Chains A and B, each alone.
Chain A
Amino acid sequence: MKKIKTHGTFEQTLTPLLFLAPNMLIFTVFIILPAVFGLRMAFYEWSILGDAHFIGIDNFRMLLQDQMFWRTLSNTVVYVVSVVPLTIVASLGLSLIAARQIPGIGTFRAFYYLPTMLSYVIVGIAWRWILGDDLGIVNYLLTSAGAVKVHWLTKSSMAMASLVFVTVWNRTGYFMMMFIGGLTAIPDTYYEAAKIDGVSRFQMFRHITLPLLRPTVLVVGVLSTIEAFKAFELIFVMTGGGPGYSTKFLVQNIYQIAFEEDRMGYGASMSIVLLIIIGAFAFFQFFMNRKEYSNE
């Protein structure tokens, strides 16, 4: 049989580039260019309404000594490391229940997806209200039932836990949809054949579903990691970074420095460090999944 080359010819190089072109064009002009310009500012001192002075790596030197930076970084890492695994497990689990096309399943999926449709502001405001010490419905129900009220958002560790919970609540439906997409790529024939061979449910999950879901797990893992590192609006509305500094994360710090303290250059340098850190976490996940090309 004639072997068709799948790469190397001019055709096979031009074609993908053409398919990529519209996306790359928009992307380069509207995202890459401003990003490069914005991040370049890390080597300058720049007040938003003033001029920029080149200062080399001074911003980065300052970073190393900046206690607030390290504090917010560690808060963020704790948050990410808690949110991501919980999200993956929750959305995968939910998708297993919700993937099958049984009557009414669309409505159920819609219910799980509903929290995702709310803007961060509403989610934050609603949960802040629900978890309020004195005016919140949860504590109200607890105290009416004779229990003691919980300081959901006013004790440092509890606040972090509440934030993690609300984040997972908010994002599970979104990632569940991705898993459902991934699950439907697995042909029923695989499962049917396995059933005939007498394979148990659990083993089917372990040997058919899980391996074939690896590409999706990678997507969910990387995306939820990136999102968690960038968390800001939800956190800010719910706790404002408090109590004290206990839930102040990196992006809030960057915002305060860049806009309120008017040090855009320093803020940009923090963004570069953030970029590197997220990149490391993401790269790690890509590395663990490098077998995906074996489909060839």
Chain B
Amino acid sequence: MTTPEVTNLDRKGAPIWGTLIGQLLKALLALAPLLVFMSIFFFAPLTAVVLDSFQGNDGNFTWANYADVFKEPIITAMRTSLALALVSAIVSAIPGAVLAFLIESRGSDRLRQVVASISGVLANTGGVPLAFMFIASLGAEGAATSLLKAIGLDIYSAGFSLFTFGGLVLVYTYFQIPMMVIVFSPAIHGLRKEWNEAARTLGASGRQFWFSVGIPLLFPSFLSALLLLFASAFSAYATARAMTNGTIALVPLMIGNLLDGNVIFDEVNLAKALAVAMIVVTLLAMVPYLIIQRRAQRWQG
């Protein structure tokens, strides 16, 4: 391919840091489309939000918005949001992991591809269609509700309601489980057949293999997938809004409300502070994610 860098000089005779900068420049050029795109449509908006969150209604710098974040009713909403994210992440991660495992280890190539495509669609199904679907199926008049009633399970008289915390968790699983399948499959894919075979020839039963090798190897990836699920559940907005009409206090909904009724200027900035608070939470979830991912990469020779 290219000539090996045997000497410490590039063609013009500049010292080695020249080639390092050269590499960086090349990288920048290659990544330019992505970076420019993300800068305009992602980082710029984010920065705007962060900056605005520090603005009081007189246009001056203030921490007031953030002070409000730690007061009621926002604190309760924050707690509920965190709980919702955590519960739905865990509830979705386990079936998702199991399904991913079964498909990766025992499924054909075609099955894997079909599942990947469908999971992609489902994972992006949210908001309005999803909410409507669940209302239609498990709402008081829903088709599934009637079906269950017909076989003797009247879930509504047992206290079930779609518009509760539990109901929301259920709805979230619809896109969280596919997300788990997508995110966790590569880890299973990387589990080499030789490890299992070697373990068995060394005397390990199936259970011993999983206990000593399989699960320790998969655990970091599982954890990082869980973190990803948590972050995305925490950020979800449209579904919650379509589902709850005010019955459950969630931070994204508060933001929406503040923005809808925004006659008062500084309420807008409060909304932005809330948004930033959300970003901080998700970023905090991403830090362990990155660390775990890096460690896991080293293992998967």
Q: Do A and B come from one complex?
A: no
